[in-house]
Amino acid sequence: MVATMEMDELITAGVPVRADQLTQKQRYSVEEGMPRFGFPNGTSDIAAWGDMLKKMNLAGLEDKITCPLLNLSSTGEGKVMYDNARAFFDALPNPLNRFVLTTEDQGAEMHCQRGNSGLLHQIAFDWLDEILAT
């Protein structure tokens, strides 16, 4: 998330920044994400927020995740998010895993396929049907 939101420099600086200095996706992370994880003071907590996010990392543990996994990614989340998700997914061992990239043409390019929840549910439940059948 730190890389995706391009927040490395903000976090490393460790100083408060004004909301008008942030990009739209950085503002989203600060305004939406930080309070959900117990950081209610916005940009004044940015260094602590970054430290917590950097600890939430499964890289290097891929071989320990042996259950089937469905990864739903969307084109609107950008190249960094896609590249990170794909690299992690490709290192997972289970052959039943599935990676699905949803697009603007499907109306599902936003985070969590926000524009097309029907497609999200179709993909997830069809995959679950296949997994549970095995």
Domain boundaries, the chain: 8-55, 62-133
pLDDT of the residue at 56: 85
For residue 115, pLDDT beyond 80: yes
Closest Cα partner for 28 from 6, 55, 58, 51?
6
Highest mean pLDDT among 76-80, 82-86, 123-127: 123-127
Half-sphere exposure of 13 (CA within 13 A, CB side): 10
pLDDT of the residue at 123: 97
For residue 109, pLDDT beyond 80: yes
pLDDT of the residue at 14: 62
Residue 114 tokens read as: 């926000």
For residue 86, pLDDT beyond 70: yes
Region 115-125: what's the mean pLDDT?
A: 95
Residue 121 tokens read as: 């549910």
Q: How confident is the model at residue 7 (pLDDT cuts 50, 70, 90)?
A: confident
Output the average pLDDT for the chain. Answer: 87
Per-residue pLDDT tens digits for 38-77: 887 766 777 787 888 888 889 899 999 999 999 999 998 8
Give the C-alpha separation, 65 to 34, whole Å.
27
pLDDT of the residue at 15: 64
pLDDT of the residue at 52: 84
Give the C-alpha separation, 91 to 18, whole Å.
39
